Amino acid sequence: MKVFFTAVLILFVFVGISCLPSFGQPVEKATFLVLKNAMVIDGVSSVPQLRTILIEGAKITKIVDSTKEKPVFPEGAFIMNLEGHYIIPGLIDGHVHISHDSRQEIEMILKEALLGGITAVRDMGGDSRVLASLRRDALINNIDAPNIYYSSLMAGPTFFTDPRVISGTRGRTPGQTPWALEITATTDIRQAIAETKGSGATGIKIYADLPPKEIDRLTAECRKQGVRSWSHGTIHPAGPMDAVMAGVETLSHAPLLAWHNKAIIPPSYTKRYDLPHKADELKSPAFTKLFQEMKKRGTILDATVYIFQLGVIKNSSGKADKNAQEAIARYAKEATRIAHQQGVKIAAGTDFLLDPKNSLPNLHDELEILVSGCGLTPMEAILAATRNNAEVIGIQDKAGTIEVGKQADLVVLAADPTKDIKNTRKIRYVLKSGRVFIRQ
């Protein structure tokens, strides 16, 4: 798991080389990198295909069908022979919270995540001052980290005593900052969304304690100003269908859909896990209606299945009852399975980027569960973490698939992930904007 000189040395020994690249630095403008004869899972075709990819600087400039055409390499190109290897688009974790640790810890986690195949993340609630600085440093390669996209949290006034939001607004007043903003019937929404944009956020996270009317106002203004609108599965008292009808682009956390069609939704998010999770109801006509509406409108389910398997969810009285945990874990998988079956797009996110005790990011676990527990094929799981997440963030013109003109954000694997999703863990190299990192 080393970059820079080790990468140069090992590649020099094991890979066919025509000249030395400037590893650890963005490849110079005039320098070409060639990934030769790999099986490419491009996010567009239905099966892996033998291809040679040409990269110039940070972008993919040519993709050649190696079975039909003998590619001519530009002079001075650095060639990596990747026969027997598989290339997928860089993985995107669509649900993380990275801003709460010290800068040093965050940088360590981000570097591990990058070396674990993650080339972009969507942060779903944190301190935008920290995130803006990290985002800039990741973008210009001051730090080795995935590209960072983040959100501004919007909620009703009762939400802002939550300790997570107090920690994310230190030095400011929770509820009165652009990235943790109290919304009421008298809020100037145009100004609120403008300030969100000014804080560098890509979207808003509609989190809690808001009625349907305010969600309508927020999404309408987001559309006007070109800001993404992302929502929790239930917003209390607004429910999942209210958010879908307001036109949010994603709903987060599959178990929060359990409030759909309940007679009363409590007005406080603190009660969000205070109901029985009965997976059988997901097959009822009421849920079919919800999933059909999501499919029709293109609302993506940010399911975060993995986190609910960890048994960490508490109800409003602070209890983590074992039976309730198991019911939530089952419900998360079953809601995702049925939504997927009914044509709802699934995005892969973890709510927990990386445990420093592990060497790989948790997204690999999420992908495994999407296949083993939610009925996605390995190819569909890969799309959930690449193309679908790029669509969620709104960066589909530059990331999420392997196509000419896109950023060279790629993961080179030693085995076929479409045969066994566990193979996303067999990482040899990670490329972010054309920079090569060696893992093993």
Closest contact distance (angstroms) between CB of 352 and Zn ion is: 8
Smallest gap from Cβ 120 to Zn ion, in A, equals: 16
Stretch that binds Zn ion, among 18-26, 54-62, 213-221, 348-356 (CB under 5 A): 348-356
Burial of 183 (0-12, 13-18, 19+ CB in 10 A): buried
Stretches 27-35, 124-132, 147-155, 285-293: which one binds Zn ion (CB under 5 A)? 124-132
Binding piece for Zn ion, criterion CB under 5 A, among 85-93, 117-125, 185-193, 371-379: 117-125
Give CA–CA dist 57/43, Å, rounded.
Answer: 22
CB 100 to Zn ion: min, Å: 11
Cα dihedral across residues 217, 220, 226, 232: positive or negative: positive
Should residue 124 be labelled a site residue for Zn ion when binding is judged by CB under 5 A?
Answer: yes
The least CB distance from residue 439 to Zn ion, in Å, is 27
Peptide bond into 211 cis (omega under 30): no
Nearer to Zn ion, 207 or 287 (CB): 207
Q: What is the dihedral of CA 121, 127, 133, 135, to 10 degrees?
A: 10
Report in angstroms how near the CB of residue 391 gets to Zn ion at its nearest. Answer: 19
Could you give the 3-state DSSP secondary structure of residue 227?
coil
Helix intervals (H) in 199-307? 212-225, 240-246, 285-297
Minimal distance in Å, beta carbon 324 to Zn ion? Answer: 20
Candidates 123-131, 137-145, 152-160, 285-293; binding stretch for Zn ion (CB under 5 A): 123-131
Nearer to Zn ion, 38 or 353 (CB): 353
Nearest residue (CB) to Zn ion, 361 versus 378: 361
Tell me the three state secondary structure of residue 164: helix
Please tell me whether residue 351 binds Zn ion under the rule CB under 5 A. yes
From 178-186, 338-346, 351-359, 415-423, span contacting Zn ion (CB under 5 A) = 351-359
Nearest residue (CB) to Zn ion, 56 versus 351: 351
Q: Which amino acid type is present at position 183? A: I
- Whole-number Å distance between alpha carbons of 43 and 383: 6
Q: Which of 18, 40, 33, 32 is nearest to 84 (CA)?
A: 40
Q: Which residues are paired to 407 by β-bridges?
A: 59
Q: Which stretch binds Zn ion (CB under 5 A): 61-69, 72-80, 122-130, 271-279?
A: 122-130
Residue 96 C-beta: closest distance to Zn ion, Å: 8
Closest distance to Zn ion from the beta carbon of 201 (Å): 15
> Is the Cβ of residue 121 or residue 145 nearer to Zn ion in the bound state?
121
SS3 4: coil
Q: Which is nearer to Zn ion, 124 or 436 (CB)?
A: 124
CB 439 within 8 A of CB 429: yes
CA distance 205 to 222: 11
- Of 162 and 351, which has the nearer Cβ to Zn ion? 351
**Strand 427-432 to 435-438 pairing:** antiparallel
- Please state, in angstroms and as integers, the Cα–Cα distance from residue 422 to each residue in 101, 309, 365, 437, following that order: 29, 18, 8, 21
| 353 or 421: CB nearest Zn ion | 353
Q: Which residues bind Zn ion (CB under 5 A)?
A: 124, 351
